[in-house]
A and B are shown apart, each in its own frame.
Chain A
Amino acid sequence: MSVLVVSEQQGGAWHRMTFEALAAGQFASRAMGCPLAVAVVGSGVDALAAELARKRASEIVALDHPLLATYSADAHVAALRRAIEHVRPRLVLFPHTYQVRDLAPKLAASIGAAFVSDLVGMRFEDGAPVFVRQMFQGKLHADVVASGDPPHLASVQAGAYRADSVLDGQSDAPVRKLDVALSRDEIASDSQPPYQDAKDAVDLTAAKIIVSVGRGIREPGNIPQARELARAIGGELAASRPICDSGWLPLDRQIGSSGQTVSPDLYLALGISGAIQHVVGMKGAKTIVAVNKDSGAPIFEIADYGVVADLFDIVPQLIKALGDSD
């Protein structure tokens, strides 16, 4: 019995969440008192495997094939099934990336296993993992136990474990190359190279102060109020995804996993609930202020200053207070 961590890379560059999943894997293997294997999937992955081998792990499993150069669910699931046959893990951990959303449920269903997605923590009771995940949009947490035969699969939410806590090994871990038999006609989908629609016109990453609006702003006619506050406080205006989806602000002002990642001195969140996909884009801010009428909104879990109130009462007063004391 062991723990298997599945790393993620594209074109030889790591997905940064790989090392968060590895931190979770090192933690789990210590708690369960069992070995840790790490899988790397792609084409020409020797250098990546060698880099992983320096981390504290008992084995690096390399799944190398030309048809794994670009992602497809079919080829990657086949490769990971091969890794699971070899390692025979009790627990398989992934970073909760877009790619893992696409492949892990298929892998789990194809081997009849449980996949506990997007966990924010883990505990061990008698050596068995209890997974903690968000439910009801982050308003509640749930302790979840997987049943059925191992392996159990789980993915780790961005920021739940710290990449800088990954330990190096005393000596290099052995790299085991596994043969994967794949042919083109087993792969149903065809994926083209990634592109961007338009280069970011506004670069919010340099902004020192950001005033960000969410669905609490209610209608496009209220955006000017927020813009006025941004001007009064000397900051840039940004938004959660639904605001940009609705076209109330341009897409290049969206903060979050599918938008920009910012770390200003001050992030003022107005009527934003604090979904993880938003939070990953702004939790690096030095000071976070949240104004939300729901005291149970998850945004307050990460706010330094919280105001439980109607934003339409607070915003005009803030503009005034900023003006008065200048």
Chain B
Amino acid sequence: MDVFVCVKQVMARDAAVRVDSGGTWVREDGVAYEMNEPDTYALEEALRLKERHGGQVVAVTAGPARAASTLREALAKGADRAIHIEDDRLAQADTHVTASALAAAIGRESHDIILTGLQSDDLGYGQTGVIVAELLGLPHATIIMEIDASGGRLRCKRELEAGWFQTVTLPQPALLTIQSGINKVRYATLMGIKRARRKPVRRYSLDDLGVGPVPRQNVVRLYQPQQSKQTQFLTGSSREVAEKLVGKLRFEARVL
């Protein structure tokens, strides 16, 4: 079974987001990067599919040179090889450009299952996986909480709203977007990190794949949101803040 998993490198969760001087992107100096958290669940699910059914796991990313470290992490956790579509413009590319690049690279190889995360922590389109499926002419299912690939058709548990689920079956090859929390992700072992150095990484440019970087949506301004409610911020020592808060809740909001 050939399993492809799309992993994106994003700013670390606790990094300070500061709008840059151009006003359409964030400052990247002094920022730490990590694998998009939802994609860690997709990667884990890919590794488990391989453990159950054999075959290979290929990690794919579209991003600038720094994204290589995220591919190394995927290789260290157990992916067999990686594909890096490398271009500086991919850091801020819209979902159409990114999906076109991913689909072009994956489409060159034989694939049974393609996994993505649900949403990227930075751009947050929540679309890239579904677009990849459409561009490759594959069926898809989204927000998946369980995969059974033991039969001819894939059997998936799809999350619905407010605590409901449904079973969806679909033929292979197919693309699934994975919901966070589907599994417990593994850590890379020392041995895994060592082995990763010898695993192959294939590099493409957008030109190699014949993908034009023409976006369908553009950020024209990026800014701090405005408060929609008047928030009273309480300050002082922890003790003062606690006492003020209890007083406010009792006598101002009257909820205690």
Contact = CB atoms under 8 A, between A and B. Distances in A.
B124 A134 contact: yes
Given A101-B143, A139-B17, A245-B180, A117 B125 contact: yes
Contact of B245 (A190, A305, A313): A305
Contact of B167 (A144, A192, A197): A192
A192 B168 contact: yes
A224 B122 CA distance: 33
B220 interface: yes
A258 B159 contact: yes
A37 B143 CA distance: 30
A229 B219 CA distance: 43
B234 to A, nearest CB: 5
A73 B140 contact: yes
Contacts of A321: 239, 242-243, 245-246
Interface stretch (A40-48, A80-88, A105-113): A105-113
Contacts of B142: 98, 101-102
Contact of B162 (A234, A257, A286, A307): A257
Interface string A244-286: 1110000100000111110001100000000000000000001
B170 A188 contact: yes
Interface in B150-197: 158-171, 174, 180-181
Interface majority SS (helix, strand, loop, mixed), chain B = mixed
A97 B160 CA distance: 9
A136 B239 CA distance: 33
B21 to A, nearest CB: 15
Nearest to B184: A246
Contacts of B141: 102, 189
Interface string A140-179: 1111111110000000000000000000000000000000
B229 A105 contact: no
B242 A317 contact: yes
Contacts of A306: 231-234
Interface in A90-133: 97-98, 101-102, 104-106, 108-110, 113-118, 130, 133
A98 B231 CA distance: 31
A325 B161 CA distance: 41
Interface in A182-199: 188-197
Given A136-B11, A136-B122, A209 B255 contact: yes
Nearest to A302: B229
Contact of B223 (A141, A289, A290, A307): A141
5 contacts: A135-B124, A194-B160, A200-B163, A234-B256, A266-B256
Interface of A: 73-74, 97-98, 101-102, 104-106, 108-110, 113-118, 130, 133-148, 188-197, 200, 208-209, 233-234, 241-242, 244-246, 251, 257-261, 265-266, 286-287, 289-290, 296, 298, 300-309, 313-314, 317-318, 320-322, 325
The 3 closest A-B pairs by CB, nearest first: A245-B181, A317-B242, A188-B139
